[in-house]
Amino acid sequence: MRFENQVIYSYPVLRPDAEDYKKGEFNVEVIPSECDPASVDRGNVKLSIRYELTEYAIARLVDEGKARVGVIVRCRETMKTWNFYVDKKGGEFIIPASNIKDEIVVNAMVIVSEDVYGFTSRNFSDDYQGFAFDLKSGDMLAYETEIEFTVGRDSFKKLDSVFEINSSDNLDAYEMDVMTEDHHVKILVSKVVYDKIQRVRGKNSAADKAVLLNSIYMTAVHVAIDYLKQNPNSDLAWANVIRNNCSSRRINLEAESAHRIAQMILRYPLGSLIERVFKEED
């Protein structure tokens, strides 16, 4: 398996930085997590990888076993590299914690696994229409933008684990504040609101949780993203968790606004509010 993202190919390659195909996408989702402390892999990093391939000609080669989806994981600091193949169901792979430091980089691609003759697609761009290509084993068919993950204390925790709600005597009844200077994002509310939040959490109501997402958590994530934009090198635990969440979802922290990023990270909470709270009015 090889990955050469600087190569000028003599045939169409499905990729984010080129227009070799009119239609079709190759999207990969990588979700990192810490291995179960009770398992033999405790302390190591688990990568859960799924992909979506919508270009029919390349997908057909994968179905026929003439191409495979491959993943290269590498650590820039230790120079260690791991190669994996992923099937349609996705896969989970273990990276030894002793071999990684600071950051890991993931590259995903579709490569030819046996020689293919006369490869063509009606989705080729106009420059390639009418052409057919002979491909050798190891040739690149598609690749995704590389994904970077921070490796460190608490970096792979779930997003909700980095928020801590506390009561404060210094706030008015429905006022709130957000503190980002610690390893947890602290959400401060009045005693009245705090008690109501605890009751909502205990009820396990989807509608009540939708309200919380759109009020308290949406505001807190927005504040946290603003802080991260102003302090991009922050090594606070919550900052690493949010960076990794953004990497998993291909969210550009620099290019997107804080408000839009907050919506994407929380999976568009306004939709939950409409579906859970206002559904009876439809």
Per residue, the 3-state secondary structure of the chain, as one string, reads CCCCCCCCCCCCCECCCCCCECCCCEEEEEEEEECCCCCCCCCCEEEEEEEEECCHHHHHHHHCCCEEEEEEEECCCCCCEEEEEEECCEEEEEECHHHCCCEEEEEEEEEECCCEEEECCCCECHHHCCCCEEECCCCEEEECCCEEEECCCCCCCCHHHHEEEEECCCCCCCCEEEECCCCCEEEEECHHHHHHHHHHHHHCCHHHHHHHHHHHHHHHHHHHHHHHHHCCCCCCHHHHHHHHHHHHCCCCCCCCCHHHHHHHHCCCHHHHHHHHCCHHHC
Beta strand 163-167 with 185-189 is parallel
Task: Render pLDDT for 118-169 as a digit per residue (tens, 0 to 9).
Answer: 999 999 999 999 999 999 999 999 999 888 887 755 555 677 778 899 999 9
Domains of the chain as residue ranges with CATH: 26-150 (2.60.40), 159-281 (no CATH)
CB 92: neighbour CB atoms within 10 A? 13
**Per-residue pLDDT, 204:** 61
Q: Which two tokens stand for residue 186?
A: 């602290």
- In this predicted structure, what is the pLDDT of residue 98? 82
Cβ-count burial of 183 within 10 angstroms (0-12 exposed, 13-18 middle, 19+ buried)? middle
- pLDDT for the residue numbered 60: 97
What's residue 112's pLDDT? 97
Copy the structure tokens of residue 16: 């984010």
Task: For the chain, list residues with pLDDT below 70.
Answer: 1-7, 36-43, 152-157, 201-210, 213, 276-277, 279-282
Residue 223: count of CB within 10 angstroms of its CB: 18
Residue 121's pLDDT is 97
Q: What pTM, to 2 d.p., does this model score?
A: 0.63
According to the model, what pLDDT value does residue 107 have?
Answer: 92
* Residue-level pLDDT at 77: 82
